Every structure is written in structure tokens, then in C-alpha cells.
Chain A
Amino acid sequence: MKSANKWYIAAALCFLLPFFSFGVTSIFDTDAEVSTLENRALKQRPEFSVETLFSGTYTREFEEYYSDTFPLRDFFMGVNQQLSKIYFFTPAG
């Protein structure tokens, strides 16, 4: 059982790695302001105020900003497009 435990711990750590590394990167990287792929302006970090915090708009806009400026955004968009092709099947011809 001891050796199995070691495996589980290694596997769990391995697995937590992407969460932590993307999390840290997402905080410290410089945010893009426009997406050339989508041809639109990306959400920018909302300005903090007590009113927007209590009305819930601050946290909502912050989440939108967070998704818009997520690291490797264009790569993930590409993966998502591939996925959509499977789901949204259009036979050739």
C-alpha cells in the first residue's frame, strides 16, 4: 500500500501542476488588449470601486477579463474549434 500511496501522491501532484502553473502565469503575464484572431478588443481589468463590488458587477467583469486574457488563449481557441468540428459535424461535399 505504501508504494501505491507514492504513486497517488505523484499522480496528484502531476495533475495539480497545470492548475498552479496556469494560475500563476495568468496573474503575472502581460495581458493582450486585442485579439487578432477574433478581431475584437479584449476585456480589460475592471476598475475597483466599493459600489461595483457590492452590486456584483466587479466580480463578474473581473471573470470576463480573466477569461479574455487567459494564457495561450489562441491555442485554446484552436483546440476548441477542432472540438466543435466533431460536435458540429458537417460531412464533406
Chain B
Amino acid sequence: MVFSSLFFLYIFFPVAILLYFVSPTLKIKNFVLMLLSLVFYAWGEPIWVLLLIFSAVVDYTNGRIIGKYRGRWQAKAAFVASIAINLGLLATFKYSGFLVENINAVTGLAFPVPSFALPVGISFYTFQTMSYSIDVYRDRVKVQKSFGDFLLFVSLFPQLIAGPILRYAELEEQLHDRKTTPDGFFYGITRFLGGLSKKVLLANYAGAVVNTLFEQGGPIVDLTVPQAWLGILMYAFQIYFDFSGYSDMAIGLGRMFGFQYSENFDHPYVSRSVTEFWRRWHISLSSFFRDYVYIPLGGNRRLQVRNMFVVWALTGLWHGASWNFVLWGLYYFAILLIEKYLFKRVLEKIPRFFSWFYAFFAALIGWVFFYFTDLGRAGQMFMTLFGAGNGGLWNIETRVLFTNNIFLVLICAVACTPLVQNIARRFISDFKEKKIPAGVYGSVAIVANTVMLLLCTASLVGSTYNPFIYFRF
């Protein structure tokens, strides 16, 4: 099930809220939330829900063994088993087809290529359970004795399908000690609707333009230069609003059930360097790789360049089993390396506009690698972007395209900045300092939320284009 569907909004969500809040104790609430989460997952993946439970059983058991035999070989064996099984699941379901294809290509042999349907969210939940095993092994978190609580952590539906990647350490306390406050609940609803609006009212529309330009027209080389740039700009908007919108929805839903999740996005497109971009983009993933790969490899104390290389190749591969994602990761490895050793200082000195432009440009080029899984088409796209295509500089279609989408581009551009968030924060703090009366605050908030819900519902009823772009992750 995805959040941006009418069935989720009007059936699953109200039922979940009702069952959760009529449950009298936190123990029962946890149990209800766990059942709801399994139903949520099973709704879309009726078979693979067993894999999710299997993954939870494995890490729960290994956690218990590690705790019992701490410091002895059994603990080490359980730790290795946990990592091997998690990575094994990922390797089998996500990478086996890719691997065999490449072996066939290199050796000229013809092994049958396995084709598993990728279970939704597997890249997210295997990382979550691994964080538990690693942290138990390092003695950073206590062993979870209750399987129910552990399964709740693994399956918790708000972030199950598209992150943020939660670490067990972050939720450990919250599993048995949390409270939904009235203002937390209200914040949660607002945050959820903000995220839903990003996904349904911005990402889907931007995505429709991308789809028309790159998938429904002729070959990429026949686009005009501005069409190609508008297309990749729209893709940048689509993926940001889709992904960060999904994180907002997860954070908001979590808050309604009393959970505090860390932020996953912090307005990445205002960054003034690529280094900054990656501190603001998909924060839970980059910090996962930092803490569980980069630092254990030696971080910046030993073989830093190698460590960076490994992290970025893996980051790329995590996004999908295809060479273009590896290239995308290595592209960032190269830029970050150059930034680190060459022009970090320069970026700090030049006017803001230039450093912003550079970072945004770098991100757009990155999205070309990311979008085009077919490297031949990526090549065509680069030619077109830089004027070596067949489309020329301008034509009637280009003019129509730009006039049609002028408002969409403007709205998306504003929505990428922290402007809306700042206004909302100011409004809330003014209310808390009693500068504006509760009645005004309440009415504005209710009207804003109702309008968002109305527009999202209308858009979901009326439009057929509502893609789910995490199927590869």
C-alpha cells in the first residue's frame, strides 16, 4: 500500500487511528500497530511479508545470541550470520539478476538470469535490522527481549516502504516509552498533509512532464536543448518532492503515534556545495553509510580516498541494480574528492549565487545518470543538453512547453526553498508566544490542512499518473 492512495487515506488511515487510540495501554497499542503494519505490507506484498518476518526473526535471534555470549566466539558468529543473511537477502532479491547478466556478458556464457520481483522496501528494512545487529554487537544498544517489540521496529508502517532508514538505537526507548501529545498529533497531521501535497500536487505533475518528454516522444537526441534542460529540471523536482514528501508523511504519521523520527531531507537544492547537498539529501542513508561503512573502514584517518570510493560505489548500488546507479555514485565520489582537495575554499569565497548555481548544476547532471538506466540514452541526453543533439535550440513545441509549465516550475522552485517552512514555524512560534490568538491559529491551520486534503483527494481521484518510484530501491 502506498500513502498516496485513496484507499490508504480514507480506509486504512482512519481505521489505524481508531484502533490505536481506543487501545488502552501502550503494550496493546504496540501490538495493534504491529498488526496494522503487517497488514499494510501484506496488502501490496502478500507473499513477501513472510520475508519481512523472517528477517525480523533472524536478527532478533542473533541479537539474543550476541547478548548471551558477549565476548565469545558465538557472539561473533551470530553477528556474522546476521550481516550475511541480510546482505544475502538483498543480494538474492535485488542484485542476482544484475550479477548474472554481467557474468554472462563478460564470460560469454549463458547462465539463466534469475528475475525476482523486488520485495518493496527490502533495501530499507534490511538496513534497519542490520543497524540493530551491529549496534548490539558493539554494545551500543540493549538486546531486545520481546520479539513483538522487535517486529514492531522492523515493520513499523510509516517508514517501512520508503524510509527514512530508522536505527534501532533511535527507537529503542520510544518502543516502550512514548506519548502522543495533542500538539504532537496536530503537528503530525499537518506534516503528513504537507508531504502528501508534495507528492501528489508537485511530484506527480512534474513527473508527468518528465514522462512526456523522455518516454513518450521520439529519441532523446531529437529534443531541443531547452527541452532537455527543462526535462531534467522537472525530474530533479519530481524525485525531491516524491522522496522528501514520502519522508514527511512518514515523520508525520510517526508523530501521530508518538514516535520522533530524525529528519531525512533539509532543502537540498539550496546547497552551495555538493558536500552540503549530501548533508541535506536523504540524511538517514548517508549517515548510515558514514557510521556503518566509512568510519569502520578507517574514516578520514586511514585510506580516506579508498573509503570514500567504497561508500559512494555502495551508495550508488543501493539505489538500484544497474550500472547507471554505480556511475551516479562514482560521479559524486569524484566531485566530492575535487571539492575536498581543490575548491572548498573557493566555494566559500565566491558570491552565493555562483556557489549555489554550481551545486545545483552538479545535482542536475547527477540526475541524468540516475534517470537513464540505459547508458546509451544517458549519452544521447548529454549530447542534447550540451547542444550536440539534432533538435536545435528552439521550436514551436519548446515554446508551448515552456508557457504551459511556467507556473508549475515557479511553484516547484519556491517549494524547494525553506520559505514555506519558515512561515509555518514563525506562525507556530507567534502562537506559542501568544502574539496571535488561538482561534486565528486554529482556523488558519484547519483551513490550510483542509485545502491540502481537498486538492490531494481531487488529484488522486482525477489523475491516472501516480507513479511509485521506489520499486528499485
Contact = CB atoms under 8 A, between A and B. Distances in A.
A3 B109 CA distance: 73
A80 B182 contact: no
A48 interface: no
A34 interface: no
Contacts of B446: 11, 14-15
Interface in B417-444: 432, 438, 441-442
Nearest to B15: A23
A56 B458 contact: no
Given A54-B47, A80-B463, A89-B407, A23 B183 contact: no
Contacts of A11: 186, 442, 445-446
A39 interface: no
Given A83-B458, A88-B405, A90-B404, A15 B442 contact: no
Contacts of A8: 182-183, 185-186
B408 A54 contact: no
Interface stretch (B5-13, B69-77, B361-369): B5-13
B185 A12 contact: yes
B392 interface: no
Contact of A80 (B46, B438, B459): B459
Interface residues of A, number: 44
Contact of A86 (B407, B445, B462): B407
B17 interface: yes
Contact of A23 (B10, B46, B405, B438): B10
Given A8-B183, A54-B47, A77-B461, A15 B449 contact: yes
A66 B405 contact: no
Contacts of B118: none
A79 B458 contact: yes
Contact of B11 (A10, A18, A23): A23
A15 B450 contact: yes
B205 interface: yes
A26 B5 CA distance: 14
A5 interface: yes
B454 interface: yes
A20 interface: yes
A76 B438 contact: no
A89 B405 contact: yes
Contacts of B442: 7, 10-11
Query: A interface, by DSSP: helix, strand, loop or mixed?
Result: helix
A67 B441 CA distance: 33
Given A19-B13, A20-B14, A67-B5, A79 B454 contact: yes
A83 B461 CA distance: 12
B438 A18 contact: no
A64 B468 CA distance: 15
A67 B461 contact: yes
A7 B462 contact: no
A89 B403 contact: yes
B347 interface: no
B172 to A, nearest CB: 28
B404 A12 contact: no
A79 B457 CA distance: 9
Contact of A56 (B45, B186, B455): B45
A22 B457 CA distance: 11
B404 A66 contact: no
A41 to B, nearest CB: 15
B85 interface: no
A91 B407 CA distance: 12
A66 B11 contact: yes
B46 A59 contact: yes
Most chain B beta-carbon contacts within 10 A, residue among A15, A80, A87, A91: A87
A83 B403 contact: no
B308 to A, nearest CB: 40
Contacts of A5: 181-183
Contact of B461 (A27, A73, A86): A73
Interface string A1-39: 001110111111011101110110011000000000000
Best-buried of A12, A14, A56 by chain B (most CB within 10 Å): A12
Interface of A: 3-5, 7-12, 14-16, 18-20, 22-23, 26-27, 53-56, 59, 62-63, 66-67, 70, 73, 76-81, 83-84, 86-91
Interface of B: 1, 5-7, 9-11, 13-15, 17-18, 43-47, 181-183, 185-186, 189, 201, 205, 403-408, 432, 438, 441-442, 445-446, 449-450, 453-455, 457-463
13 contacts: A12-B185, A15-B186, A16-B17, A22-B457, A23-B15, A26-B11, A66-B7, A76-B461, A76-B462, A79-B462, A80-B462, A83-B458, A89-B405
Please provide the 4 A-B residue pairs with the shortest distance between their CB atoms, ordered closest to farther: A80-B462, A8-B182, A79-B458, A76-B461
Given A23-B14, A56-B45, A79-B455, 12 more contacts: A4-B438, A8-B186, A9-B182, A16-B189, A53-B46, A63-B6, A63-B7, A77-B461, A77-B462, A79-B462, A80-B458, A80-B461
